[in-house]
Amino acid sequence: MRYSPIATSLFVRNREKIIAQLPENSMAIICGADQVHRNDELYRYRQSSDFFYLTGIEQEDSFLLLLPHGTLKHTQAILFVREPNPLMERWEGKKLTAAEATEISGIHTICSNNTFIQTIAELLPHVSTVFLNQSNNRRYKQVLTREMRLGHILRKRYKHIQLHNCAPLLNACRMIKEPEEIALMQYACNITEQAFRSVLKNIKPGMREYEVEALLWHTFIAEGVSHHAFEPIVAAGENSCFLHYQKNDSIITAHDSILIDFGAEYANYAADCTRVIPASGKFSKQQTLVYNAVLRVFYFARTQIIAGTSIEAYHKLVCHAMQEELLQLGLISTADVQNGIDGKPAYFKYFMHNTSHFIGLDIHDVGKRSDILQPNMVVSCEPGLYVPEWGFGVRLESDIVITETGNYDLMQNIPIEIEEIESLINE
Helix H, strand E, coil C: the string for the chain is CCCCCCCHHHHHHHHHHHHCCCCCCEEEEEECCCCCEECCEECCCCCCHHHHHHHCCCCCCCEEEECCCCCECCECEEEEECCCCHHHHHHHCCCCCHHHHHHHHCCCCEEEHHHHHHHHHHHHHHCCEEEECCCCCCCCCCCCCHHHHHHHHHHHHCCCCEEEECHHHHHHHHHCCCHHHHHHHHHHHHHHHHHHHHHHHHCCCCCEHHHHHHHHHHHHHHCCCCEECCCCEEEEHHHHHCCCCCCCCCECCCCCEEEEEECEEECCEECCEEEEEECCCCCCHHHHHHHHHHHHHHHHHHHHCCCCCEHHHHHHHHHHHHHHHHHHHCCCCHHHHHHCECCECHHHHCCCCCCCCECCCCCCCCCCCCCECCCCCEEEECCEEEEHHHCEEEECEEEEEECCCCEEECCCCCCCCHHHHHHHHCC
Q: Which residues are part of the catalytic machinery?
A: 40, 244, 261, 272, 353, 357, 364, 382, 386, 395, 397
